[in-house]
Structure 1
């Protein structure tokens, strides 16, 4: 029971920190694009683009989110890292839909960071459960 609470605390803390930092990064990028567009005078990198790829990605993400929510307790303690990976894909989807050009790399950067953090969490959970959680 003690380990379960520890894993839950780690999962929610990391998820919350990544969610807040993702929102702040998106807002910062969005506002800095407004300033850059005003100074340079070129066309904006802020653009609403919704195409079939965005629809497909959204449907896949919603399906995976539903699967994760159904099996939330079964995949514990890996539910947190899986939710973090889904959060990264939603972050990427946001940048695919609302920006264009070089700014889209911010979404890829955020996705890469969330995947790396989630993989590190999963590997550390496996190592802990395999070697240190002896009865």
Structure 2
């Protein structure tokens, strides 16, 4: 059974290099198709290709999708976030809280623990000068 690891391997290096080459070759073909005159494309041997309309439509469409998707994603995440007065933010006696400032050790990952909502808000929304006072 193979172990899944993020470490580099020869297969990943090969696939990454092939993907790199295919991406650059695709971009060069796209630029040639989009900017060269039709007569030059016919002399090269390209006789059947999509309309030049798609050379502009597809990138603009992808840009519009990205521009519209980002605010929708942010709005949905804000919509799904519980209010501070919600019952979902109530904790119980079995929650594990740690004092990050007191237990901070250099170059060490902090242990897994529950985050207190007031500490999260203090770190996110207070100024840096008043954050640790």
Which TM-score bucket, shorter chain as reference?
Answer: under 0.3
| Bigger fraction of residues in helix | 1
**Which structure is larger by alpha-carbon Rg, 1 or 2?**
2
TM-score w.r.t. length of structure 2: 0.26
TM-score w.r.t. length of structure 1: 0.26
User: Larger relative contact order (C-alpha < 8 A, sep ≥ 6)?
Assistant: 1
